[in-house]
Amino acid sequence: MTGEPVTLRVNGAERPVAAVAPWTTLLTVLRDEFGLTGAKRGCNQGVCGACTVTIDGEPVRSCLSLALNCADRDIVTVEGLVPAGAPAGALAPVQQALAEGNAVQCGFCTPGILISAHALLRRNAPLTVDEVRAGLSGNLCRCSGYKKIVEAVVSASEARP
């Protein structure tokens, strides 16, 4: 890869890349350089939402974020939803809610959904169905019809201490 070096902070770890071209997106670096393949390339146009990650706590499209523009930012992918130091195999509550709520079918949209849901859940109050529907409206799912996903996220928001 031609370009300039950059260090990205992903899931709490500083990860250097020797050379990144200006047009290379964060999604490409996550997948091809770091092997973090949780974020998916569904459309490469910012529509489907399968590539959603958080940058500085806010869900964004990694396919529309240029890697060089992401230096010094906190990037979290689905692989980073479980806090570092948690026991092996631990799941974040929202991951558990989706898994147990039959809200995962083919699973291709799931990482993006989880990131958007995770950002919603950082708010304190329990979430309403309509808040979750609005909050997930940038993540297309072609399998589930959304109902079980919305239910799972609402239940995760109610279960929090």
Show contacts with another protein in window 48-107 (CB under 8 A). Answer: 48-50, 52, 58-61, 63-66, 68-69, 77-79, 81-82, 87-91, 95-96, 98-102, 104-107
Residue from the set 139, 155, 156, 157 that interacts with another protein by CB under 8 A: 139
Question: In whole angstroms, what is the distance from residue 4 CA to residue 37 CA?
Answer: 23
Beta strands in 66-161 (DSSP E): 74-76
36 binds another protein (CB under 8 A): yes
Least distance CB 141 / another protein (angstroms): 7
Residue from the set 9, 15, 46, 74 that interacts with another protein by CB under 8 A: 46
Q: Report the residue count for the chain.
A: 161
Taking the least distance from each CB to another protein, the nearer of 14 and 94 is 94
